[in-house]
Amino acid sequence: MRTYLIRGLSLFGIALSAPAVAADAPWPVKVVIVTTYEEGADTGDRPGELQLWAERENLTERVDFPGGVHPLLTNKDHSIVAMVSGIGLANSGASLMALAFDPRFDVKKSYWLVAGIAGVDPAAGAIGDAAWANYIVGDFAKSMDMREAPTGWPYAIYPFRSKEGAGHMPEQKMGYGPFDRYAQVFPLNSGLTGWAYRLTRGVTLDYSPEMAAFSKGWATYPAAQRAPKVMIGDSFSSNHFWHGVALNQWARDWVKMFTDGKATFVMSNTEDAGFGEAMARLDAMGAADGKRLMVLRTASNYTVPAVGQTTFESVNAPFPFGGTPGFESAYRVGSTVVHELADHWDHYAEHVPSAP
């Protein structure tokens, strides 16, 4: 298995269009902060994933970004760039590629920090938790109406090349070798993940009486009853905003199956596999360093309904507390890493940090 993102793929015949290049050399970027959405203005109103970064990190310069879905924000010396990728796998991969090939930026040595909210498995964590991923797992699959599935199948979703459901015949799962175009497992640089975790595990996260009371709806899950913390936990990425007990078990089984038991499903999202695939290709082309991708997901909601709540009610409910615990955790934990990298760039430009 690969120890970090790398794929033996090439791109041919692609015409890239970008804003005119200034006479100056491209801006050498230290860290790219990758968020997925922002509602309303970038500052001063109800926050999304970008707003706390914009307000607290002096990202005062707004840069037009025709290849993306939202203008970029940078600090005065352009060493930190924050982007909004757009929600979903197509947006995430395309936006990352567009930034990497924008001639105004030099990202060959950049660190990429995905800092976004997610649904958390209540068996693994609580609202406000922050999880650094060692693995991204995608959901490329076959499926059918559950009412038409063979007797005994736990869910009607199964691997693309398998004739059985996940959990039945894991040996038939599709491969994820470097030349397999259906690859959907993206092992991140575990040394960098470990370093980021060690650096941030003591960060204080918000925990209010209201958050504690809210989680009582998931009282059968001990992990959901504790205060938020920083952890290592893996990312399951799907283009479906799925929800419920059966699909939550599918996510657990799927992540374990495709990583031979090495990963554990903790955070659910709709972008990370797109980021992983884009970074794998950029690494293979020498346009970015796949060893420098970090994925930090913070819990905004649970992936199963509360006691007494239907799945339909739960999946359509707004994020508790407006998503603020997740936004705050993403900033507090992520900014600790960004500051360390940027403030000691003379070292980290050439040496990717690592810890077991």
Per-residue pLDDT of the chain (356 residues; tens, 9 = 90+): 444 444 333 332 333 334 444 457 899 999 999 999 998 999 999 999 999 999 999 999 999 999 999 999 999 999 999 999 999 999 999 999 999 999 999 999 999 999 999 999 999 999 999 999 999 999 988 888 988 988 878 888 887 766 555 444 333 444 444 334 456 899 999 999 999 999 999 999 999 999 999 999 999 999 999 999 999 999 999 999 999 999 999 999 899 988 888 999 999 999 999 999 999 999 999 999 999 999 999 999 999 999 999 999 999 999 999 999 999 999 999 999 999 999 999 999 999 999 97
pTM, entire model: 0.89
Q: Which sign, positive or negative, has the C-alpha torsion 172, 176, 177, 182?
A: positive
| Distances, alpha carbon 253 to alpha carbons 159, 278, 353, in Å | 12, 25, 32
Parse the chain into domains and list their residue ranges.
27-136+184-348, 140-183
Q: Give the contacts of 342 (CB within 8 A, at least 6 positions apart).
A: 30, 31, 79, 80
The domain made up of 27-136+184-348 has a fold known as Rossmann fold (3.40.50)
Angular region, 209: left φ>0, alpha ψ -120 to 50, beta rest? alpha
d(CA 66, CA 78): 18
d(CA 234, CA 216): 24
- The encoded tokens of residue 29 equal 């970027």
Q: Are 99 and 65 in contact (CB under 8 A)?
A: yes
